[in-house]
Amino acid sequence: MTRVVLGSASTGRRTVLRQAGIDPLVAVSGVDEDRLIEELGPQAPPDEVVCALARAKAAQVAGELDPGVAADCVVIGCDSMLYLDGRLCGKPGSADAAVRQWHLMRGRSGQLHTGHCLLRLVDGAVTHSEVQSGCTTVHFGNPTDADLSAYVASGEPLGVAGGFTLDGLGGWFIDRIEGHPSNVIGLSLPLLRGMLERIGLSINALWAAGPDADERI
């Protein structure tokens, strides 16, 4: 039975998969994202950056799997960043940075890029590798200073790409999107479906392969 391993600590990505019928094993990578971004350089295209990060995360997780899991599984690595004003915006990390980010975003639009890397493992060896990025245009609302302060104080925007969510408190301040919503949350279901089809795996087979709830590795 082919297991699905999500190489991400993102609750949003896990929720997307669980709501779509797949309850993945969760294995968080220790990839140094800042170092990798620095190595790519400031001129690297957004899709190249997020795909490189997704590939690194998937590769590290795949190399550390228990042999029993690595005997038959797919590893999914993802990374998301917002492209605005010619630069990529990751996780703000602090309240001040989140406020500055929102002052730039409100009333405007940006492109949320999500890199996906899918590795197929059989008997511990990678037999297939797929890497692809998705892009969704996000049109931001114009929250009041009071609402923005309360949102930042909630802590939600500090640890998410671009300093906002679509599926949480930040959803109040998103006017509309152009593209698939799951890509904004961090994992594009249409894109992932195509990647799985190309390596010969059906969605319905993976529906039957989920672990017990809250299982982590």
pLDDT confidence of residue 30: 86
Contacts of 71 (CB under 8 A, 6+ apart): 121, 122, 123, 124
User: Is the pLDDT assigned to residue 213 strictly greater than 50?
Assistant: no
Instruction: Give percent of the chain with pLDDT exceeding 70.
Output: 95
Least confident of 5-9, 32-36, 139-143, 158-162: 32-36
Distance of CA 31 to the CA centre of its chain: 14
- Residue 210 or 125, more confident: 125
pTM: 0.92
Catalytic residue among 34, 79, 167, 212: 79
Q: Residue 1 — very low, low, confident or very high, per pLDDT cuts 50/70/90? A: confident
Do residues 92 and 157 touch, judged by C-beta distance below 8 A? Answer: yes
CA angle 96, 15, 175 (to 5 degrees): 55
79 is known as an active-site residue: yes
DSSP string of 130-177? Answer: EEEEEEEEEEE----HHHHHHHHHTSGGGGSGGG--SSSGGGGGEEEE
Instruction: Tell me the pLDDT tens digit for each residue of 119-172.
Output: 999 999 999 999 999 999 999 999 999 999 999 999 999 999 999 999 999 999
Mean of pLDDT over the chain: 93
Distance CA 19, CA 191 (A): 16
Write the CA distances from 159 to 25, 92, 112, 118, integer angstroms. Answer: 22, 7, 15, 24
